[in-house]
Amino acid sequence: MSKKATPRKLAATEAGATLRTLRISPRKLNLIAGMIRGKHVSDALDHLMFSRKRSAKAVYDLVVSAISNAENNHGLDMDRLYVAEAHVGKGLVMKRFMARARGRGAKILKPFSQISVVLREQRDQA
């Protein structure tokens, strides 16, 4: 008597991947996510490869992982995939202390974030 399998949250023509505890601000990461949203997978990978932002490499690896999930786990065609969704969320925040003048202290917040990418297969335009 095992418990029933959790139903799949994505449709049959979708695949995704999630990256958690990425040590970058969600606000900065959302710029990268907005850059690839709605683009064909090969265009998104090109944009990420030549981007000068530090978080672009982590998002590049995430999109490659989502492509692998789509091909191996769900049998989707890579040539017909596009980035349907790219969600950025807040993670935990490390709180640090920096000594200041006259015996005071300043709070330093080091935020973490998480990003989730969903790839969808394009339908035929027939």
Class of domain 14-121: alpha beta
Q: What pLDDT is attached to residue 48?
A: 97
Half-sphere exposure of 82 (CA within 13 A, CB side): 8
Q: What pLDDT is attached to residue 94?
A: 97
Cβ contact 119:67 at 8 Å? yes
| Start-end of H helices in the chain | 26-36, 41-49, 56-68, 74
pLDDT in tens, the chain (126 residues): 788 988 888 888 999 999 999 999 999 999 999 999 999 999 999 999 999 999 999 999 999 999 999 999 999 999 999 999 999 999 999 999 999 999 999 999 999 999 999 999 998 765
- Neighbouring CB atoms inside 10 A of 90's CB total 12
Distances (CA, A) of 78 to 56, 87, 119: 21, 21, 10
- Listed in order, strand segments (DSSP E) in the chain are 14-22, 81-99, 105-121
